[in-house]
Amino acid sequence: MKLLVIDIQKGITDSRLFNFDEFIDNTSRIIQAARDNQIEVIYFQHDDGPGTGFSIGDEEFEIAEQVHPREGEKIFTKNINSCFGNKDFTDYVKDENTLMIVGLQTNFCIDATVKSAFERGYKVIVPQGANSTFDNDYMSGEETYKYYNDMMWPKRFATCVSVDEAIKLMQS
């Protein structure tokens, strides 16, 4: 098993997110449990390209302090929603069976990565409350979160479990 921590970057990690405090707490617990159980933690940063304010070298591109990687933990950059758009990452996890996925945003990079991992034959685990998103013109952040975590992913693309259950899976 490997833990993917996707796009928890300074420019989008703030109180505008659905259940912000719970999201940070749950994600931090998952990351710490992975470290405690010798499960590799892999970080991703989304790069929208030069001049966007969300690119390599920009403050908003940096990983948020609340979940900052430890020295030696891998960090991959991507410029499409799915982490599998990064060939180095795809090659790195080719012999892995299970991926646990946390991060931002539920309806963009998390959804794309969950489905891409499923299509490649990985067992995908999504700890509930460890992904989030913003309100948009069509749905609130809460509605979007529930749509994916309660309806779209379970029994199709991923095993969606509580944070406590996810931690138990890491301990076994």
- Domain ranges in the chain are 2-171
- CATH hierarchy code of domain 2-171: 3.40.50.850
CA–CA distance, 8 with 109 (Å, rounded to integer): 11
Instruction: Calculate the average pLDDT of the chain.
Output: 98
CA atoms within 13 A on the CB side of 151: 6
Share of the chain above pLDDT 90, in %: 99
- Predicted confidence band at 131 (pLDDT cuts at 50, 70, 90)? very high
Judged on CB neighbours under 10 Å (0-12, 13-18, 19+), 99 is: buried
**And the tokens for 125?**
């685990």
CA 128 to chain centre: 11
Give me the mean pLDDT over the 92-108 stretch: 99
Return the pLDDT at 123: 99
- Predicted confidence band at 159 (pLDDT cuts at 50, 70, 90)? very high
